Structure 1
Amino acid sequence: MVRRQTDSVWILTDIDLHTVVKNSGGRSTFFGHPRGLFLLSFVEMWERFSFYGMRALLVVYMTASVLPDASGHVHGFSILTLFVSTSDPVRSSSLLYGFYSGLVYLTPIFGGLLADRILGKRVTIILGGILIAAGHMLLTVKPWFLLALLLIVVGTGGLKGNIAAQVGDLYALDDSRRERGFSIYYLAINIGAAVSPLVCMVLVQHWGWEIAFDATTVGMFIGLVTYMLGSYALPAANSVGIEKTVEAKSSSKNSFFILFFIAVSAIFLWVSYEQQANALVRWTSVSSNDIGMAWLQAIPPLIVLVGTPILTHLWSKQARHGNEPDALKKLLIGACIITAAQSFLVVIAGVLPATAPASWIMALYLMVWEIGDLFFCPAALGLFSRLAPRGFEGLTMALWYVTFFFGNLASGWIGTLWGTFSPVTYWLMIASCTALGVLGITMLRKSSFLMRNSLLLS
C-alpha cells in the first residue's frame, strides 16, 4: 500500500483499489468524536425509548384490551383473521407480535433504498419519525390499532438504518474511531432500551395504558424535534470520506464477501441471543406464568452502560500506541466470548439436569454474553458502514438489521424444540450455532484477498 498526502486529501492506493479520502482533522469534535455522533446517538436513544417502551407493553395490551372484542371494533381485523387465528387472545397476540417484530427488521431495506435513490437520508428519517409518532398516538384508539402498528413498522423502516448510515458518514473511510463511535451509538440505544420498560410499566400500573403509550409518543417527538433542529449540522453523505474510484471489479466483490460472512455469522449469534427471552425464560421459570426471573432481562443493558465507557477508553488508549484491535479481531473476540457463555449453559445443564438454575448463574451467563456483544455488534456496525457501496449506504446498513430478522426466525423455530430434547442437548445445539459464527469470522480473517485490502479494516 502507498499513502501520500496532497493538501487536504489523502490518496490511498492498494493494489487494485484507489480511494480518495478527505481529511476530517479540522472537523469539530467532542470527546474525540464528531459532534454529530452525539446528536444522532441522542435521537436514537429517544427512538429506542419509544420502541422498547411500546414493545414491553404490546403483547399484554393486545391480550387484555384489544383482541378480546376486536371483531367489528378494529378496522382491518377481518383481514388479519386470514393470517392469524384469533380464537385465543393469548396465542393470537403472540402471533401478531411476531408479524410486527419481523416486519420491523425487514422494512429498513425499503427505507434504505428510498433514502439512497430518491429522498436522501435526512428527509427519509424525518418522515419515518413522523410516522412512528403518529402510530404511537393511535395505539390506544382501538379502531385504528392495526393501522398504528403499520405506521410504526413503515416509520421504523425509514428511520432505523438511515440514522446508522449517517453515523458512518461522520468518519473518513480509514478513520479508526469509526467502531468506537458505533460503541457510543450502541450505548445510547441501550440507555433507551433499559429505561423505557421500567418507566412504561410504572405508568401503566398507576395511570393506565393511554398515559404509558403517551410517554412513548413523547419520546419519539423529542427525538424527532432534536433531529430536525440539529441535522443541518451533519455532513452531507460521504462528505468526509467518500469518493471512491474503483479501477478493478474485484474490490466491490471483496466488500460483498466480507459483509456476507459477517451477516451469516451474526445470524448464528442472534439465534443464541433470542433464546434469552424464549427457552431461557422457560428453563428458569418454576411455572408457566412465573415472571419472577424477569429482572434478569435488565442485565444486558446494564452491562452495556457500564462496559462501553471502559472498552472505548481502553481502545482509545491502545489506538494511541498503535495496537488497537482491528474491527475483525473485535468481531472474533466477541463471538468467542458469546460461545464461551453458551458453552457455560451446557455445563450448567449437565450439572443440574432436573432443576432450574439459580438466578446468580443466569446473571453470570447474561453478563458474559453481553460483554461479547460489546465487542461484536459495534464492530459489525462499523464495518457495514465502512464497506457500504457509494450511493447505497442506507440500504447496506438496513441489510445489517435484516440479520436480526433471520436470527429471530431461526431462533423461534429452534425454540419449538424445547422440551423435545434434554436441556444439555438443547443448549449444546445453541452453543454449536454460536461456534459456527466463530468459524465464519475466523474464515473471514484468513482470507488472503482481505489482507490485500486491509485498508478497509484499519
Structure 2
Amino acid sequence: MEAAVARSEERLWGHPKGLYFLAMTEAWERFSFYGMRTLLVLYMVQELLLPGRIENVAGMDGYRRVIEAIFGELSTQAFASQTFGLYAGFVYFTPLFGGLLADRWLGAKRVVMIGIALMTLGHFAMAFDWSFLLALLLLVLGSGCLKGNIAAQVGHLYEKHEETLRSKGYAIFSTGINVGATIGPLICGLLAQVYGWHIGFGAAGLFMLIAAIVYFAGLKYFAEDRAVAPEGEILPPLTTNEWKMIGLVVLVLLITMCQSFAYEQLWNVGMLWVNERVDLTFGGFTVPTPWLASEDSLASVIALPLLLAIWAWQGRRGGEPGDLTKIATGALIMATSSLFLALGSLSAPDGKVSILFPLVTFFLSGIAFMYQWPTALALVSRRAPKKINALMMAGAYLTLFVVGVGTGYIARFYEPMGDTAFWFLQAGISATGAVLVLLFGGTIRRRMDALEAPG
C-alpha cells in the first residue's frame, strides 16, 4: 500500500499525475458519449423511426409495445424523446451496480476496463440500423462499469485533509469531460451531416479506443483500489453516524436534480427545438444542430480558470462559497439559461428564431454545469463513508437516472404545451433547486460538519 500511495502522490502542477490520465480518459470517453448523444434524438425522429427504416431494427416491435404499455400511445417525437430519456437515465443507473462490483469484488480499475470494452462495442454497433437497441444496451452496461468508478478514482488520489485541492481536482476532471463534450458533437455532427448518421456514430467508437489507450498508460499513477474486502473478510457495518451522513448526502443530491432536469432537457427536446425553430443558415452553410451543444461544453472549459480564480480570491478573504452555495448558484444560472429559449420562442412565434438565443442558452448552461456537477462530486467523495465510497459516487450518477427517465416523460408535454410554456416550465424547475438550498442549505452543512467532528 505504501508504494501505491507514493505513486498516487507524484505531483504535476500541484495535483497527482494520475488526475491528468483520468481526465484525458474521460475526455475521450465523453467525446464518444456526447458525439453520439447529440445525434441520437435527431436520428430517431428524422430517419430511424420512419416507415421503411424502423422495420430494420431488431426487436423494435417488442420494445415499442413495452414502452407504450407503460407510457401510453406516443407520437414519433414523444417515442423518440422517451427512448432518449430511458437511455440517458439508464447510463446513470447502472453505475450503482458498477460501484458495488468495484467496492466488493473486482476493484475500480478492473471494472473501468470492462466498461471501456463494452462502450467501444456499443458505439460501433450504433453504425448499423439492425443493432440499434443492442448498441444502447451495450452503452448502458459499459457506462455502468465506467462512470462512478473513474470518478471515485479521482477522489482516491487525495488525502482527507486536501478538501480544497480535491474540489479543484474534480473541476479539472470535469474540464476533461467538457473538452471531449465540445469536440465530440462538432466532429460527429459534421460527419453525420456530410457523410450520414452511421459515419458520425462510427467516429464515436474510434475515440473510445483512444480512451482505452490513455487509461492503460496511466495505470501506474492511480491509487490502489479502496475498501475491497480481502478474501474471507467481511467489511465492518456502517455506523449510525455514517448512515446519517449518507442520508444528508442523498438529500443534497436530490436538490441538485432540479437543475439537472432543465440541463438534460437541452439534449432531448432542446436539440429538436434548435433543429426546427432556429435559423441555422449562414452564407449557404447550414450549421449542424449538434454544434450548438458543443458550446455548452466550450463555455465550461472557458469558465473554469475564471471560476477557480474567483474562488481563490474569495478564499483568501475567508469568503469562498461553500458547496451548497455553488450548487444554488448553478441552479439560478440554469434557470436563466432556459428562460432564453422561452424568450426566443416569444420573439418569433410563427417563424425562425435568431441563433443568438440558443447561443446564450448553451453558454449559460455550461457555466451552470461547472457550479453544480464538479461540486456535487467533490462533496460526495469527501463526505461519503470510505467503506462505500465508490458506491456513493455511483449514487450521485443514480440521480441522473431519475432525471433522464423523468426528462423523457416531461418531453411529451412539449407539443401540447407549446415551446414557450415548455421552456418557462424548465426554468421554474431549475430555480426550485436554488430555493431549496436557501431554505435548508445551512442546516444540512452544519449537520454534516457535526457528524465529522472528532469525538
Of the candidates 180, 200, 203, which is equivalent to residue 188 of structure 2?
Answer: 200
Partner of 1:310: 306
Q: Is the 8 A contact 1:272 1:431 kept in 2?
A: yes
Q: TM-score of the superposition, structure 2-length normalised? A: 0.80
Partner Cα distance (2:99, 2:64) in 1: 31
- The 1:455–1:145 alpha-carbon spacing in structure 2 relative to 1, beyond 3 Å, is same
The offset of 1:301, in angstroms, is 1.3
Identity, % of aligned positions: 32
Out of 372, 377, 388, the position equivalent to 1:376 is: 372
User: Which structure is larger by alpha-carbon Rg, 1 or 2?
Assistant: 1
> 1:45 maps to which residue?
27
SS of the residue 1:325 aligns to: coil
How far apart, in 2, do the equivalents of 1:25 and 1:71 lie? Answer: 52
CA deviation after TM superposition for structure 1 residue 188, in Å? 0.9
Q: Take 2:74 and 2:328, find their aligned partners in 1: how far apart are those partners?
A: 47
Per the alignment, residue 6 of structure 1 pairs with none
> Which of 248, 256, 259 is the matching residue for 1:258?
248
Q: 1:247, 1:272 → 2: CA distance?
A: 38
Counterpart amino acid of residue 272 in structure 1? A
In the aligned structure 2, how far is the partner of 1:90 from the partner of 1:186?
A: 31
Query: Residues of 2 paired with 1:214 and 1:364: CA distance?
Result: 31
Letter in 2 for 1:450: M
Name the SS for the 2:250 alignment partner.
helix
Aligned equivalents of 2:135, 2:8: Cα separation in 1: 44
In the alignment, structure 1 residue 409 sits paired with structure 2 residue 399: no
**Offset, 1:259:** 1.5
Using the TM superposition, give the Cα deviation of residue 57 of structure 1 relative to its aligned residue in structure 2, in angstroms: 3.2
Counterparts of 1:272-351 in structure 2 under 5 Å?
A: 272-277=262-267, 294=289, 295-319=291-315, 323-342=319-338, 348=343
Q: How many Å separate the matches in 2 of 1:433 and 1:227?
A: 37
The yes-or-no answer on 1:438 pairing with 2:425 is no
Cα distance in 2 between the residues matched to 1:190 and 1:230: 20
Q: Is the 8 A contact 1:45 1:188 kept in 2?
A: yes
Name 1:398's counterpart in structure 2.
Answer: 394
**1:117 is matched with which residue: 100, 104, 113?**
104
Matched to 1:251, the amino acid is N
Given that residues 93 and 400 in structure 2 are in contact (C-alpha distance below 8 angstroms), is that contact kept between their aligned partners in structure 1? no
Q: Which amino acid aligns with 1:39?
A: F
For residue 215 of structure 1, the aligned residue among 203, 208, 216 is 203
Distance 1:71 1:363, change over 3 A: closer
Q: Which has the higher mean CA deviation after the structures are superposed, 183-192 or 57-66?
A: 57-66
1:210–1:247 Cα change, 3 Å: closer
Q: Do the aligned residues in 2 keep the contact of 1:254 with 1:449 (CA within 8 Å)? A: no
Alignment of 1:57-136 (within 5 A): 57-61=39-43, 64=47, 68=51, 74-84=57-67, 93-136=80-123
Given the superposition, is the C-alpha separation of residues 325 and 413 from structure 1 closer, same or farther in structure 2, using an over 3 Å criterion? same
- In 2, the alpha carbon distance for the partners of 1:247 and 1:237 equals 19
Mapped to 2, the partners of 1:59 and 1:404 lie a distance apart of: 18
Determine the structure 2 residue equivalent to 1:34. Answer: 16
Q: Distance in 1 between matches of 2:341 and 2:329?
A: 19
Moved more, 441-450 or 148-157: 441-450
Cα 1:190–1:81 shift into 2, 3 Å: same
More helix by share: 2
Aligned residue for 1:171, secondary structure, equals coil
Inter-CA distance 291–263: structure 2 relative to 1 (3 Å threshold): farther
Higher mean Cα deviation, 313-322 or 51-60?
Answer: 313-322
Residue 29 of structure 2 aligns with an amino acid whose one-letter code is E
Match of 1:56 in 2: 38
State how far apart, in whole Å, the 2-side matches of 1:181 and 1:438 are: 25
1:189 aligns with 2:177: yes
Q: For 1:338-381, what per-residue CA distance to the aligned partner results, in whole angstroms no more than 9, with x for missing partners?
A: 345556777x4898595776433443344334323221211111
Indicate if the aligned counterparts of 2:93 and 2:398 stay in contact, CA closer than 8 A: yes
Cα deviations by residue, 1:366-399 (Å, 9 ceiling, x for unpaired): 4334323221211111011112222322221111
TM score, norm. by length of structure 1: 0.79
How far residue 432 of structure 1 moved from its aligned partner, in angstroms, is 3.1
Q: CA deviation at 1:234?
A: 0.5
Aligned residues: 429
Q: CA deviation at 1:25?
A: 12
Q: Alignment partner of 2:66: what SS?
A: coil
| Aligned: 1:160 with 2:147 | yes
Change (3 A) 1:278 1:103: closer
| CA distance in structure 1 between the partners assigned to 2:24 and 2:217 by the alignment | 13
Give 1:227 shift.
Answer: 1.0
Whole-angstrom CA distance in 2 between matches of 1:231 and 1:152:
23
Q: What is the DSSP-based 3-state SS (H/G/I as helix, E as strand, rest coil) of the residue aligned with 1:172?
A: coil
Please give the alpha-carbon distance, in whole angstroms, between the structure 2 residues aligned to 1:248 and 1:206.
55
Query: Residues 42 and 271 of structure 2 are in contact (CA less than 8 Å); yes or no, is this contact kept in structure 1?
Result: no
Partner-residue secondary structure (3-state), 1:54 = helix
Q: Distance in 1 between matches of 2:106 and 2:5?
A: 27
> 1:130 corresponds to which letter in structure 2?
A
Query: How much has 1:315 moved relative to structure 2?
Result: 3.0
2:266 is paired with a residue of what secondary structure? Answer: helix
List runs of 5+ in structure 1 lacking aligned partners: 1-21, 240-244
C-alpha distance after superposition, 1:31-87 (max 9, x if no partner):
221111111000000111111222233345556368755677554445424325799
Structure 1 window deviating more from structure 2 (291-300 vs 397-406): it is 291-300
Contact persistence 1:264–1:437 (CA under 8 A): no
Q: Deviations over 1:77-125 (max 9, x none)?
A: 4542432579987765554434322221211111111111111100000
Are residues 57 and 344 of structure 1, via their aligned partners in 2, closer, same or farther at CA, if it must alter by over 3 Å? closer
Deviates more, 1:320-329 or 1:182-191: 320-329
Q: Any idea what the Cα deviations from partners look like across 1:259-284, whole Å, max 9, x if unmatched?
A: 12221111111222234345656777
Cα separation, 2, equivalents of 1:423 and 1:213? 29
User: In the alignment, is the contact (CA less than 8 A) between 1:258 and 1:444 conserved in 2?
Assistant: no
Q: Distance in 2 between matches of 1:455 and 1:369?
A: 36
Report deviation, 1:204. 3.3
Give the counterpart of 2:450 among 449, 452, 457.
452
